[in-house]
Structure 1
Amino acid sequence: MADDGITLPQYQVFINFRGDELRKSFVGFLVKPMIFGKINVFTDEIELKGTDLQNLFARIEESRVAVAIFSERYTESRWCLDELVKMKELMEEGKLVVIPVFYRLSATACKNLEGAFGDKFRKLNWEYRSEPERIMKWEEALVSVSNNIGLSLNVQSDESKFVDTIVEHVKRVLLVTLTKERENSKNQNKETFTDRTITGEREEPDTTPRFGVEQRLKQLEEKLQFGYEQTRFVGVVGMLGIGKTTLAKMLYEKWEDKFKSGMFFPDVGTMSKEHGLDWLQKRLMQELLKDIRPNIGYTENAHEFWKDDLLSRKVFVVLDDVSGKKQIKFLLGKRDWIKKGSKIVITSSNESLLQDLVNDTYEVPRLNSRDSLQCFTNHAFGLDYAKGKFMKLSRNILDYAKGNPLALKALGVELRGKDEAYWEQRIGTLTQRSNKMIQDVLSRRYDELTRGQKDAFLDVACFFKSENANFVRCLVDSCDSEAWDDMRDLTDKFLVSISGCRVEMHDMLCTFAKELASQALAKNTGIQFRLWNHQDIICVLKNKLEIKNVRGFFLDMSEVPGIMSVDAKIFSSMCNLLYLKIYSSAFLQEGKADFKIGISEELQLPLDKVMYLHWLKYPLEKLPSDFNAKKLVNLELPYSSIKQVWDGVKETPNLKWVDLSNSRKLNNLSGLSNAQNLERLNLEGCTSLVNLLQEMENMKSLIFLNMRRCKRLKFLPVMKLSSLKILILSNCSKLQEFEVISENLEALYLDGTALKELPPATGNLERLSILNLKGCELLESLPECLGKQKALEELILSGCSKLESVPKDIENMRYLRILLLDGTRIKETPEIYSLQRLCLSRNNAMVRLQGNISQLYRLKWLDLKNCENLRYLPTLPPNLEFFDAHGCERLESVANPLALRMMTEQIRSTFLFTNCNNLEQDARDDISSYAQWKCHRLALECYDRGVVSGASFNLCYPGFEVPSWFNHQAVGSVLEPKLQLRWCNNRLSGIALCAVVSFHDNEYPIDTFSVKCRIQLENEEGPPISLDCDVGELREPGKIESDHVFIGYASCLHLEKRLEDQYSGNNSIHTKAFLEFYVNDACKSEVVNCGISLVYAEPHHVPVEANPYISSSKKSGGWLDDLLGYIFLSFFCVIVFAPHYYLRFLKFFWPLVAIFLCLLAIGLFMEWKDGKPKQQKRSQTHGT
C-alpha cells in the first residue's frame, strides 16, 4: 500500500468511538480484520488510562483516515467530541479523511441531535455550560462529519458483514489517499537548478514560484497596462530574497508570445561588471533583432544604427537585478527606438536607481502567513503543511522569516529531514547564526556598500533597531554630515526601513549584520568593534581587556549573572567610543532593575567622541571630571544617584536630549547652563529639585519640558522660552503660582497642582490645544480671557471640586472637542457645538441638563455617572456612541424621544441607565420605545448601505420585564420560536435581543460583565447555522442593586445571504430556532427572562411587530382564532346571563349563525392558502 516515496505513518487509521459501550463488542470485532489486512490502526484507550488528550491528538495527526463511530451513548463523552473536533479541523485542512459510521443510529438523529443521542448531548452541554465555545465546536463537528458519505448499521443488519464492509471501504480510501500523496511528493521534489546566466535567479535561488505569486502577478500586470497601446516602464523593487526575479521571470514567460521581440536579461549588475556596458548593449540588440539580423555585432550608438528595425516591432524587455543607473541608460538610450505599446520591466534592490526612469514602481510585498507556511513546509517536508509538534516549531521560523521567500526556502532546506531536537536547537540560534544560503546572497550585497553605509548598517543592527527615527538621525548627523544620507541609501536598498517613525531591520538582515560584527571582534580585524553581546562584554570586563577601537558598548544588566565589579579605568582605552549604554531590558518590562555593576568613585570616562550616554541607575553623585561633553547629543541618566550632572559648566554645543527622570537626589542643574541647543529636557520625579535655572532662558530650541512630580517646586522663574511647545507640571503639588514662560505653548499640563487661579496671560496662548487642570482642588475660577482661546481642543477640569462656572465666551471655541467637568460644581453646561466628548459625572450640583443639549450634533460621548441629584433628562443629541447615566439615583424621568430621531451615519451606540432605580415606569417605557426606534433605524441604514457587520446597539435600565414589542418571549434563558417558510425574505436586517438579568443582590462589585446570546437555526436536512450575538456589557459597573433589562441589536445581513443561498437550491429551509442567553461575570448573575424580535428594513413598517412570515411562540392561531373566540364567548354570555331575552334572541339566531359560517369559511381558506407553500416545499423535498 505504500510507495517508496511515501513514509507510512505510525497509525494509518484512527477509530473514534464511545469506549465502554463498544470497545469489547463492535470495535473489538472491527480491529482484528484491520490488523489482519495490514492496516495500522489505533483505538482509543485514553478513557481507561486517563492520559493527556494532547497525546491522543498527536495520534490523530499521524493518521491518514479516521473512522467516527456514532452510537447512542456517543455524546456522553467529552473525549469523543474533542477527538471529533480535532478530526474535523484536519479534514477541513485536507490532511485527514473522516468516515462516519452510524451504529444503530440514524444519520438524521446524529445531525439534528434527536432522541437519546441529542438528550445526552444537551445534558453534556449543561455540564460544560461555562465553555460555550467548546460546545459550539462540538455541535459544528457533529454536523460537519455526519454530512460525509458514511456507513449505517440498523437493528436488523448483520454486524459481521457490516465489519467487512467498513474494512473494504477503509482500504479503498487509504489506497486513494496514499496514491495522491505519492504523486504530490514526486512533483514537489522535482527541483530544477538552472544556470544563473539564463534564469537570472542569483538573488533568490529557486524560490518556489507558486506561493502567493498569482496576486502579485496580477498587480504587476495592472501597472504595465497590457491591454492598452501605451509604452510602459515599470520598476520592480523589494528587499533581498523577496522574489523579484521569480516574479519578473513568470511575467516574461506569460507575455513574451504577445510581442514581436523580447528578452529576459538576467543579472544585469553582475554581467556589467564581468563583460562591460558595451557587451550588454550588443547582447540586447542581438536578442531583439535575431530574426532579421542574425549575425549582429557590436555597433557604437546601436540604438540609432538599428532604429528603423527596432521601430518596426513592439518589444517586451525585462532587465533583471540592475545595480546602477548607467546600466539602464546604456541599455535603453534615448528610448526613441522603442515602439509605442512596448513594455519594459526593470528589477532592482535599489529603489533610488529607478527614480525618474520609470512610469511606475511595484514593491513586491512579503508573503502572507498562509503562503509563508506553504513555502516553508514545501521545502522542509515536501508537503504544504507540517505535522504534530513541527507545526508549532514552524511558526517560530515564520516569525523569523517574516514572509521573505529566501529565508523560508533556505531554512526549510536546512531543516529538512532533521529531528525535533535539532529543530529546537536551531530555532534557538536563529538570531545568532545565519543560514549559509542566506549568508552567500547577503555577503555579495554587503560588499557593494560604501564604508559609511556599512557602518550605518551594522549600527542599526547592533544598537538602534526599533529606535525612534528622529533620535537616530540626530546621532548620525552629529557624527557626520553625510551619515543620514547613508541611512537613506540603506532605506532605498531595503536593508533598513522607517516604519511608524522607527528604524527597523528584518531579522534575517539583523542576524547577518551581528554575525559580521562578532567576526570582526573575534578576528581583531582592526575595524571598529561593536560590543552588544553580554557574554563578550562580561569577558572584556572580567579580564580587563583594553580594546581601543570600540565604536559602541551596549550592556543589558538583566543578562549579567550576579554582581560584578568593574575596573575604574575600563573605559579609558576606548577613545573612539561613540555610543555607551548600560540598561536593563527587565526594567522596561517589569519596572525592576538590580544594579549589578560595582563602580568605584574613581571612575574614568575620558570619552572625547561619545555622542550617546545612557546609564540606568548610574551609582555616583556626578559624572567624572574628565568626561568630555563636546560631541554629546543624548544624555540619559534615569533613576540615577546624581546630585548634579558634572562639576562646573561644560561646553555642550551638540546636546539635544537630556533625561534625568526619577533622579531623586538631583538638586542642581547648573551643569546644563550652556546647553543652548537643548530640545528635550525630562526632569520627571526629581523630587529634590526646588527651582529651574534662570539661564534656561537661553535654550532657544527647547521644545519639551517635563517636570511631573517635582514635588518641591513652588514656582517657575520669569523667563521666555520661545520654542517651548509642551510643558508638563503635573502633580507638582506645591506649585501655587504659574507664569507663562512661552507664548507658543501647544500643550499645558497643570493637573494635581496647588494653583488657585490662572494668570491672565493664559489667554494669550493662541496655539494652545490642550489644557489639563485635573485635580486642582483649590482652583475656584477660570479667567474670562480663557474663553478667547481659538485653538483649544481639550479642556480637562476633572476634580476641580470648587469650580462652579466656566467663562461665558467658552461657547465661542470652535475647535473644542473634549470637555471634562466631572467632579466639579458646575450647574449649567455650556453650548459648544464642536464638542465630541462631554463628561459631567460626579456632579451633585446639577439637577437637570439644559434642553438645548440635543443640538450638539457632533457629541459622541456623554458621561453622567453618579450625578446623584439629576432628576430629569432632556432629549439627547442624535449621534451619541456612548451614554452613561450609571448611579443617577434620583433620576425620575426622561424626555420622549430619549434622543433626537434623525438620519445619522452612527451605527454603533450604547446607552446605560444602571442603578437608576428611581426611574418612573413612563421613563422606562420611553427608554424602551427609543430602543425600538433605534433598532428599526439601524435596520434601514444597514440594509440600504449594505453594512454586513459592525452595526450594534446596546441599552440597559432597571427592570424585570421584557418590553411588549418583543414578539417572542420566554421565562428563563432559553427561547425556541418556530419560523415559517421564507421568514427572512422580507428585507430582514437584524435581530433585537432582550435579556432580564438578576444580580441576586451581589455584595461585591462587578469588574466586568456581559450578556450574550447563542443562536442556532436548524432544518431537517441541511446543516444548522450558528452565531453569537452581544446583548450588552458593563465596564467597571461596581455593585448592581436590582434586576436590569438589557436590549441589544445585531445585524444579520450576512445571515440573510447564507439563507438566500439555500433558498436557491432544493435544501429545506431553517424553520427551527434555538436561542440561549448567558452571562459572563465573576458573580452568580443569571438571565431570568428573555425575548427577541426580527427587525425588518421597512420605511413605513413598525419593525418589530410580528411579520406575516413569522409564527410567534405566543400566537398559535393569529387574528382568526381571536375573532372566533370572541364570537363563541358572546353566544355563551347571551345564553347564560340573559335567559329572559332568550325568545327575542331566537329572532337573530340564524343570521348570526350565517355570519359565523361565512367567517369560518374565509378563515379556513386563508389557512389553506398559507399552508400551501409548505405542502409544495414538502412535496419537492420528497420528490428530490
Structure 2
Amino acid sequence: MIGRTELEFVDNIAKETSRLLNKLSPSEFPGPGIESRTMELENLMCFEETRCVRIVGVLGMAGIGKTTVSNCVYERNLDGFDGCCFLSNVQDELKLQTIDQLQQKLLRKLLDDEKLEVGASVGAHKVLKDRLRNKKLFIVLDNCLVTISDNRLEMHDLLLKMGKVIGYESSINEVGKRGRLRNPKDICRILKNKNKGTKKTRGIFLDMSNVKRMELPSDIFTKMLNLKFLKFYNCSEWCEKDCRLQLPGGLDYFPDELVYLHWQGYPLDYLPMNFDPEKLVVLNLRYSNIEQLWKEEKDTGELRWVDLSYSKELLNLSGLSKAKKLERLDLECCESLAECSSIQEMESLVTLNLRDCLELKSLPEETNLKSLKTLILSGCSKLINFPTISENIESLYLDGTAVERVPESIGYLRNLAVLNLKKCCSLMSLPDNFCKLKSLKKLILSGCSRLESFPDINEDMGSLEILLMDETAVNQIPRKMYMSNLKLFSFGGSKVQDLT
C-alpha cells in the first residue's frame, strides 16, 4: 500500500505535468487579439499577491470574446490555487436550479468533494468556513447576474441580497471591521464615535429618512483611509432645511480614495481643501449649503457626473475646469449661480441642466462642448442671448428665458430634434433659414406673446411632427409650410386669421 508521502508525491507530479501541458497547448489563444486581452486581464487580477482578495468584472456586448478571454485566464492560472471553479452560463443554470443548488455545485468544485451537502444550519456554515479558511481560491462566474442596459450595470436582487449578507456576516460583532455599512443604527454608532471607523471601511450607505439630527466631529473620516463609497441620502421627500448631519466644527478630511461621494444636504460652504479628488467619479451634493467646491483648481480628471442641484448658495463652479471626462452636470435651481465659465473645456459633457438658475445671464461664448446633446436653460429668466455652444445639440430647452431673437446660426444645428421656446415673452422673430433644421421633431412656441410672424418653410422639414403656437401674436400662417410629417399643429388663443 502506498504511504501518504508517496501519494502526495504522485499527486504533485500529476499537477506539475498538467500545468506544463496546459502551457504547451497550441490552442492557448484561440483567436486574434485574445492574447493581449488575456494578459491585460491577468495584470488586473494581480495573481502574485497572495493575501489579496480581488474581484474583476468583464463586461461588454455579446460575442466580443468575454467568455473566451476569461477561460484563457482561468486555464493558464488555475494551478496556482488551492481550489478553482469555472461556472458557465450562470443565468441559464438558474433557470434549471435554485441559487442554493448552484452554491452547492460551486463549493463541491472548490473543495473537490462531490459528496458535500451544504446545510442551512449555523454549524454547517462553520464547517465550510473552517474548510475554506486560508485557501487560495479562483472563481469565474460566466454570464452571471450582472447585466448591462443602456450603459448601466444592473444587478439581480438575489446577488445584491447575497452581497449584503456576506458583508454583514464578515464581522457581526465588530462593526468597524466591515467593508460596507448599510444598517442605520450601526452607521450612527460609528459616526457618533470616531474611534469606531477603521481603514477596513470601504463603503457607507445611510438612508437618513429615519435618522435624527446628529452633530459629527470634524475628524470623523480621519481613520477611514480606504473609504471609496460614501452615500448619505434621503428616500423620502426632501425638505430644504432637513440637513440631518451637521458639522459644527467643520470637516478636516475626506479620504483621497473616494470614488463615489453623495451627501444630500452637505452642510458646509466648501469641501475640505486637502481633499484630492483625482479618483472621484461621482459627486452628488444636492440640497447642500455649498458656495464653491474648492477655492482653487483640483485634479478632477476622472469625474463623470456632478449633481449640485438645489444648492441655492452656489456661486460658481470653481475647481471643475479640469473635469474633461465629465458627462453630466446638474445645476437645477442653483439660484445664486451667476456664471459658469468652468464648463468651457468639458469636451465629454453630454447633458447640462441649468434649469431655474435665476441669476444666470449668459453662457461662455468660446467653448469646447463638442459632445453636448442636451442643454436645459428653462426658467433662466435673465438669460437674453440665444446660446450656440455645440453644433451637436439634440435637445434645447429655453422656455421661460428672456431670449429676444433666434440667430441665423441655428441653421448649423443639424442634429437639433427638440426646441422649446415656450413663454419666451421677449422673443419677436425667427430666422428665415429655420427650414434648415432637418432633424427637428418638436417645436414649442406657445406663450411667445410678442412673436408676430413665422417664416416661410421653403424646404421640407420632414422630421417635424409637433408644432405648438398657442397664445402667440402670429396673425397669419406662412404661404409656404412644407412639413410632410406634421402630426400636431396647435394655435389656440393666437391671432391667426388665414389658414390658406
With normalisation by structure 2, the TM-score equals 0.71
Query: Matches of 2:402 and 2:392 in 1, distance apart?
Result: 24
Offset at residue 769 of structure 1 (A): 1.6
Query: Matches of 2:361 and 2:99 in 1, distance apart?
Result: 62
* Map of 1:350 onto structure 2: 88
Residue 419 of structure 2 aligns to a residue whose secondary structure is strand
Sequence identity percentage: 41
Query: Matches of 1:504 and 1:592 in 2, distance apart?
Result: 31
Offset at residue 748 of structure 1 (A): 1.2
* Map of 1:800 onto structure 2: 448
Residue 186 of structure 2 aligns to a residue whose secondary structure is helix
Structure possessing the higher radius of gyration over alpha carbons? 1
Larger RCO, structures 1/2 (Cα 8 Å, 6+ apart): 2
Query: Matches of 2:190 and 2:229 in 1, distance apart?
Result: 17
Offset at residue 525 of structure 1 (A): 11
Offset at residue 816 of structure 1 (A): 1.4
Would the aligned equivalents of 2:175 and 2:186 in 1 still touch at CA under 8 Å?
Answer: no
- 1:444-483 Cα distance to aligned partner (Å, 9 max, x none): 9xx8xx99999xxxxxxxxxxxxxxxxxxxxxxxxxxxxx
* Map of 2:33 onto structure 1: none
Query: Matches of 1:581 and 1:543 in 2, distance apart?
Result: 19
Residue 540 of structure 1 aligns to a residue whose secondary structure is helix
* Map of 1:731 onto structure 2: 379
Offset at residue 638 of structure 1 (A): 0.8
* Map of 1:586 onto structure 2: 236
Cα separation, partners in 2 of 1:810 and 1:677, compared to 1, 3 Å? farther
- Name the aligned partner's letter for residue 441 of structure 2: E
* Map of 1:970 onto structure 2: none
* Map of 2:29 onto structure 1: none
Query: Matches of 2:467 and 2:388 in 1, distance apart?
Result: 22
Taking only aligned residues, the RMSD between alpha carbons, in angstroms, comes to 4.0
Q: Mapping of 1:458-469 within 5 angstroms?
A: none
* Map of 1:546 onto structure 2: 197
* Map of 2:167 onto structure 1: 517
Instruction: Tell me which of 339, 363, 386 is aligned to 1:716.
Output: 363
Cα separation, partners in 2 of 1:759 and 1:518, compared to 1, 3 Å? same
Offset at residue 496 of structure 1 (A): 2.1
Q: Mapping of 1:500-899 within 5 angstroms?
A: 501-522=151-172, 529-544=179-194, 545-560=196-211, 562-587=212-237, 594-693=242-341, 695-721=342-368, 722-809=370-457, 811-826=459-474, 827-828=476-477, 830-843=481-494, 845-847=495-497, 849-850=499-500
Matched residue count: 404
Q: Mapping of 1:1163-1178 within 5 angstroms?
A: none
Would the aligned equivalents of 1:558 and 1:593 in 2 still touch at CA under 8 Å?
Answer: no
Q: Mapping of 1:135-284 within 5 angstroms?
A: none
* Map of 1:1104 onto structure 2: none
Offset at residue 660 of structure 1 (A): 1.0
Query: Matches of 2:137 and 2:304 in 1, distance apart?
Result: 23
- 1:827-852 Cα distance to aligned partner (Å, 9 max, x none): 32734111233333333x235644xx
Residue 352 of structure 2 aligns to a residue whose secondary structure is strand
Residue 375 of structure 2 aligns to a residue whose secondary structure is strand
Residue 748 of structure 1 aligns to a residue whose secondary structure is strand
Would the aligned equivalents of 1:788 and 1:810 in 2 still touch at CA under 8 Å?
Answer: no
* Map of 2:120 onto structure 1: 436
Would the aligned equivalents of 1:738 and 1:758 in 2 still touch at CA under 8 Å?
Answer: yes
Residue 404 of structure 2 aligns to a residue whose secondary structure is coil
- Name the aligned partner's letter for residue 412 of structure 2: N
1:494 aligns with 2:232: no
Offset at residue 507 of structure 1 (A): 3.1
- Name the aligned partner's letter for residue 435 of structure 2: G
Query: Matches of 1:771 and 1:451 in 2, distance apart?
Result: 59
Cα separation, partners in 2 of 1:640 and 1:714, compared to 1, 3 Å? same
- Structure 2 unaligned spans of 5+: 1-13, 19-69, 76-85, 104-118
Cα separation, partners in 2 of 1:607 and 1:789, compared to 1, 3 Å? same
Would the aligned equivalents of 2:321 and 2:344 in 1 still touch at CA under 8 Å?
Answer: no
- Name the aligned partner's letter for residue 328 of structure 2: R
Cα separation, partners in 2 of 1:325 and 1:631, compared to 1, 3 Å? closer
Query: Matches of 2:412 and 2:376 in 1, distance apart?
Result: 18
- Name the aligned partner's letter for residue 828 of structure 1: I
With normalisation by structure 1, the TM-score equals 0.31
Query: Matches of 2:137 and 2:189 in 1, distance apart?
Result: 29
Residue 236 of structure 2 aligns to a residue whose secondary structure is helix
Would the aligned equivalents of 1:810 and 1:832 in 2 still touch at CA under 8 Å?
Answer: no
Offset at residue 407 of structure 1 (A): 7.2
Cα separation, partners in 2 of 1:546 and 1:405, compared to 1, 3 Å? closer
- 1:530-567 Cα distance to aligned partner (Å, 9 max, x none): 1122121112123331312211111111131x222222
Would the aligned equivalents of 1:820 and 1:840 in 2 still touch at CA under 8 Å?
Answer: yes
Would the aligned equivalents of 1:683 and 1:708 in 2 still touch at CA under 8 Å?
Answer: yes
Query: Matches of 2:99 and 2:244 in 1, distance apart?
Result: 41
Q: Mapping of 1:384-399 within 5 angstroms?
A: none
Residue 172 of structure 2 aligns to a residue whose secondary structure is helix
- 1:677-730 Cα distance to aligned partner (Å, 9 max, x none): 32222111111111221x532222222211110111122222122222221111
Query: Matches of 1:529 and 1:405 in 2, distance apart?
Result: 28
Q: Mapping of 1:1086-1101 within 5 angstroms?
A: none
Cα separation, partners in 2 of 1:364 and 1:811, compared to 1, 3 Å? farther
Cα separation, partners in 2 of 1:495 and 1:525, compared to 1, 3 Å? farther
| Structure with greater proportional helix content | 1
Cα separation, partners in 2 of 1:452 and 1:759, compared to 1, 3 Å? farther
